[in-house]
């Protein structure tokens, strides 16, 4: 046996296609940077909710500890499926069958990944998964580990940074087996309108691909009208069977419980039957304790309204401050600001901007280019940074003030020209 063979570790070769996660890449890029110790560290990099978990959810967890003594069913308890359907009725005006059209999942992340393993047929030539770009990296990883290739639709600044699906040609749509949609979008916050859903449904009907609608940011919004959901769009377009459509929703952002790992999928009953079969073997049953707490969460809206008000207050304070110095606007929804780096600072390089900000002001942000892939001749995340306004208002405001100070430390083009 040669040395290379002896040192190799048996593994699925598809694992070698995975890209490092954005935060791993950022840690490597920042390895040699020492943040200015004069400032306490503030991170706007990771989209992890920091508001306190609601007491009603904590109480429900504590009251359900006896559930530890039994194995949970993968399909979930009827009480949870009924609570989910009741929420869908209140939120979207939808009537779903709790036995066949909803399924609890351990957070939307694992379900978004697992769905691809359920619906992709890698034996079909050119099996393709279409993703928005920038995107949540789970979409790409799920596609690659399912044996598919990826195609990307870049965000379009002219469409409030929503994905431009017209970039996907007819030949690619014909090979597509799964489309990931994120609305409200990460990182841009854009919400898809009904006409766009109509176009995607028509493409799905023509080519037979499944639409996975990631809606985990749906309850944090800044307009009076709540964001349109995929199931809601289907119902409005007389698609009550939700053919080839699965929506993904999570309690993590809505209810500030990312550590609870609770959400649900809903939609096409035929697809969910296959998905349940996969999950039964995958061992994805939700703990009875988490199920009980999830029932309490889905049945209560007061804490969601309060949570949304906190985000609205933060964005109202931070957005105008940054907008005076950067290309940024209030998003449709979500808890991110998608900010353009001024061209006179490092030539608009998002990575250099993030590194300089960390070094001089001890504020961590995520470079937009790490959230996207080169597609259609460009990286649509380049030149922008993502700010996750997840901490308390005072900390987010202080971070914004430091970002402004960093920008102001560079002479603006107008001041440079006037001084000369």
DSSP 161: T
Does the bond joining 400 to the residue before it have cis omega, within 30 degrees of 0? no
CA angle (254, 258, 261) in 5-degree steps: 105
Q: Are both 264 and 367 inside the same structural domain?
A: no
Instruction: Assign 7 a pLDDT band (cuts: 50, 70, 90).
Output: low
Q: Which residues contact 321 (CB under 8 A, 6 or more apart)?
A: 397, 400, 401, 404
Nearest one of 113, 116, 111 to 129, comparing CA atoms = 116
Say yes or no: 295 and 311 in one domain: no
CATH of the domain at 164: 3.40.640.10
3-state DSSP helix/strand/coil % of the chain, to nearest 5: 45, 15, 40
Predicted pLDDT at 3: 47
Residue 290 domain-assigned (yes or no): yes
- What phi-psi label fits residue 332: left (phi over 0), alpha (psi between -120 and 50 degrees) or beta? alpha
The domain in which residue 280 lies consists of 55-300
- Whole-prediction pTM value? 0.95
My answer on whether 329 and 282 are in the same domain is: no
Q: What's the mean pLDDT in 83-92?
A: 98
Q: Coil, helix or strand for 96?
A: coil
Report the interhelical angle of 350-361 vs 393-408 (nearest 10°).
110
Pairing, β 128-133 against β 149-156:
parallel
Asked whether residue 27 falls in the same domain as residue 129, the answer is: no
Q: How confident is the model at residue 283 (pLDDT cuts 50, 70, 90)?
A: confident
> Position of tokens 């914004």?
400
Are the CB atoms for 108 and 248 separated by under 8 Å? yes
Domain boundary among 258, 274, 300: 300
Closest CA to 370 of 14, 24, 15: 24
106, part of any domain = yes
Domain final position from 300, 325, 354: 300
> pLDDT of 18-69, one tens digit each?
999 888 998 999 999 999 999 999 999 999 999 999 999 999 999 999 999 9
Compute how many other C-beta atoms are within 10 angstroms of the C-beta atom of residue 115. Answer: 26
**Domain tally, the chain:** 2
Same domain? 174 vs 258: yes
Model pLDDT, residue 165: 98
Domain end, chosen from 269, 284, 300, is at: 300
**CA pair distance 364, 24, nearest whole angstrom:** 14
CATH of the domain at 364: 3.90.1150.10
**Encoded tokens for 95:** 């009537």
What pLDDT digit, counting tens, does each position of 181-229 carry? 999 999 999 999 999 999 999 999 999 999 999 999 999 999 989 999 9
| Residues 43 and 366: beta-carbon distance below 8 Å | no
Question: Mean of the per-residue pLDDT values for the chain?
Answer: 95
Number of H helices, E strands in the chain: 16, 13
Q: Identify whether residues 90 and 22 lie together within a single domain.
A: no
Instruction: Please name the residues in contact with 289: beta carbons below 8 A apart, sequence gap of 6 or more.
Output: 61, 64, 65, 67, 68
């Amino acid at each position: 046996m040669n040395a290379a063979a002896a040192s190799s570790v048996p593994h699925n070769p598809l694992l070698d296609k995975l890209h490092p996660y954005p935060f791993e890449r950022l840690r490597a890029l920042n390895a040699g940077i020492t943040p200015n110790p004069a400032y306490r560290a503030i991170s706007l990099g990771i989209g992890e909710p920091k508001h306190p978990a609601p007491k009603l959810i904590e109480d429900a967890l504590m009251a359900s500890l006896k559930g530890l003594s039994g194995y949970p069913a993968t399909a979930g308890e009827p009480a949870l499926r009924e609570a989910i359907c009741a929420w869908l009725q209140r939120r979207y005006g939808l009537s779903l069958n709790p036995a066949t059209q909803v399924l609890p999942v351990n957070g939307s992340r694992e379900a978004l990944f697992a769905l691809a393993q359920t619906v992709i047929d890698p034996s079909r030539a050119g099996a393709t998964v279409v993703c928005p770009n920038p995107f949540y990296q789970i979409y790409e990883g799920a596609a690659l580990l399912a044996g598919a290739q990826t195609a990307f639709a870049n965000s379009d600044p002219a469409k409030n940074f929503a994905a431009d699906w017209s970039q996907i040609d007819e030949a690619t749509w014909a090979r597509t087996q799964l489309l990931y949609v994120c609305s409200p979008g990460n990182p841009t916050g854009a919400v898809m309108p009904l006409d766009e859903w109509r176009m995607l449904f028509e493409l799905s009907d023509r080519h037979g691909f499944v639409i996975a609608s990631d809606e985990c940011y749906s309850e944090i919004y800044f307009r009076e009208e709540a964001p349109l959901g995929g199931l809601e769009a289907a119902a409005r377009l007389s698609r009550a069977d939700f053919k080839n459509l699965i929506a993904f929703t999570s309690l993590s952002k809505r209810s500030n419980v990312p550590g609870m790992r609770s959400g649900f999928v809903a939609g096409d009953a035929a697809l969910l039957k296959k998905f349940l079969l996969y999950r039964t073997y995958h061992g994805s049953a939700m703990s009875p304790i988490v199920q009980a707490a999830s029932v309490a969460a889905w049945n209560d809206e007061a804490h969601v309204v309060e949570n949304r008000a906190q985000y609205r207050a933060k964005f109202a304070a931070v957005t105008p401050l940054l907008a005076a110095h950067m290309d940024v606007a209030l998003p449709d929804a979500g808890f991110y600001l998608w900010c353009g780096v001024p061209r006179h600072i490092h030539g608009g390089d998002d990575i250099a901007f993030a590194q300089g900000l960390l070094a001089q002001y001890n504020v961590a942000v995520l470079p937009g280019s790490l959230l996207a892939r080169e597609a259609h001749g460009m990286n649509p995340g380049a030149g922008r940074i993502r700010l996750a306004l997840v901490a308390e208002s005072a900390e987010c405001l202080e971070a914004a003030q430091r970002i402004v100070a960093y920008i102001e430390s560079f002479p603006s083009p107008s001041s440079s020209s006037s001084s000369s």
